[in-house]
Amino acid sequence: MYKFDTLIERRGTGSVKWDGHAQLGFPADALPLWVADMDFPVPAEITEAIKKRIAHEVYGYTLATDSYYDSIRGWMERRYSWPVAREWILTVPGVVPAINLALHAFTKPGDAVLIQPPVYPPFSNAVLGNDRRLIKNPLVLVGDRYCLDLEDFEAKVVENRVRLFVLCSPHNPVGRVWSPEELSAMAEICLRRHVLIVADEIHQDLAFPGVRHYPLPALVPACNENTIICTAPSKSFNIAGLQTSNIIVPDPLLREKYAAAARCWGMSKVNALGLVACEAAYTYGAPWLDAAMAYVAANGNFVREYLGANLPQLKVTESQGLFLLWLDLRGLGFTAEELETFLLHRARLWLNQGYTFGEEGRGFVRLNIACPRARLEQALGQLEAAVNQL
Ligand SMILES: Cc1ncc(COP(=O)(O)O)c(C=O)c1O
């Protein structure tokens, strides 16, 4: 019914993933399984809604409508039992801009901001690029599962007088969907120590079947007072190029400050087509999303089984969601730089190198599995052949 197995040609569309090699200096023939978008076509209802909007032929500045807000509130209520008031929702053209905006609104140069590497690189870029102090509470790999180090978390908060914590929930790149206990423990420390939380929940909808994601304030109501929740339909429905995100700020004072910063930076209005796509996604997209995540989870199992049978020295860390797998390639015995060269020039694979997620990621790579299974088979075959030639 859905075309997850169809190999769609994306070259020639300006795709960062498929066309970015010349600008970024990567070999043209390396198979791209890196940047976090999907190689799947979006749900038909999204395309239909965009076509209908395009037929109007006028694309001026556009506001979110009543039905737009209702679609977000309905989604959060149905999927997460999270009642979101309409006025809590602020539109911003992307979650990365939204995080930078939060740093501007709530911290000043020199303030300490905590992150949990290995983590999505724009987090550290935002902290360092805005002259804030980067404080790290690294995740700990226990067996093949990444865990929190809560003792270190609180010690770092106290020692450095941390003002703001950028939480990644679920966590990119390691694919952990944090449990209620883990989330509650982090929330409790932040509430007690007066730390503001920016919860990047852009991967919220990508938990594997049977795994549950909890929006932080839905689990810990007190977090309504200290949390900015960054959400977007972009990862879930493969519409990242439409640059539309919904930042949920329950506390009125935080919201006024945040909204003022957004107005000041000209970031309170979003793309006219993004609004239409978001509304269609949250209104009609659930069956497609559930089918896509079942396909992605099966892709993950395929990679695990393939590596287990053919390249047992390479490991896949445990994940509970996301269309990204975090592979431990330290068994090859390379430095991070050697590993990158080997993958690009011998295996002819363009993956996200682990060291870009923080030095904690050296020896690891992130593999995007939101693609037809045949493409994954090709990639794993190339990897196996290159390893066997060593
Ligand atoms: C954790 C996380 N936050 C934000 C983004 C990007 O958000 P946006 O494109 O809305 O700026 C990504 C994309 O991969 C991500 O993984």
| Structural domain harbouring 226 | 59-283
Residues 196 and 145 in one domain: yes
Q: Which residues line ligand 1 (CB under 6 A)?
A: 36, 94-96, 120, 168, 172, 200, 202, 232, 234, 240, 245
Q: Does any domain span residue 91?
A: yes
Mean pLDDT of all residues in the chain? 97
17, 34, 38, 96: residue to mutate for ligand 1 pocket, most atoms within 8 A of CB:
96
CA of 310 to the centre of ligand 1 (A): 33
CA of 321 to the centre of ligand 1 (A): 15
34, 38, 120, 352: residue to mutate for ligand 1 pocket, most atoms within 8 A of CB:
120
The number of folded domains in the chain is 2
Average pLDDT on 47-66 reads 97
Residues 228 and 217 in one domain: yes
Q: Using one digit for the tens of pLDDT, what is the confidence trace for 363-385?
A: 999 999 999 999 999 999 999 99
pLDDT tops 90 at residue 17:
yes
**Is 382 within 8 Å of 348 (Cβ atoms)?**
yes
What is the position in ligand 1's atom list of the atom closest to the CA of 243?
Answer: 10
Residue 191 in tokens:
């509430």
Average pLDDT on 134-156 reads 98
CA of 123 to the centre of ligand 1 (A): 10
Residues 22 and 99 in one domain: no
Average pLDDT on 7-27 reads 94
16, 34, 172: residue to mutate for ligand 1 pocket, most atoms within 8 A of CB:
172
Residues 165 and 266 in one domain: yes
Instruction: Fill in the DSSP letter of residue 4.
Output: T
95, 245, 356, 367: residue to mutate for ligand 1 pocket, most atoms within 8 A of CB:
95
DSSP string, 70-135: HHHHHHHHHHH-----GGGEEEES-HHHHHHHHHHHH--TT-EEEE-SS--THHHHHHHHTTPEEE
Residue 272 has what pLDDT?
Answer: 97
Residues 341 and 269 in one domain: no
Which amino acid is it at 91?
Answer: T
> Whole-prediction pTM value?
0.98
Residue nearest to atom 9 of ligand 1 (CA): 94
Average pLDDT on 145-164 reads 98
CA of 96 to the centre of ligand 1 (A): 6
Residues 366 and 302 in one domain: yes
CA of 311 to the centre of ligand 1 (A): 31
Residue 314 in tokens:
């390479």
> What is the rounded distance in angstroms from the CA atom of residue 380 to the CA atom of residue 311?
10
What confidence category does residue 1 fall into, taking pLDDT thresholds of 50, 70 and 90? Answer: confident
Query: Which CATH number does the domain housing residue 383 bear?
Result: 3.90.1150.10
Residues 77 and 219 in one domain: yes
Residue 321 has what pLDDT?
Answer: 97
Residue nearest to atom 7 of ligand 1 (CA): 95
Average pLDDT on 298-313 reads 98
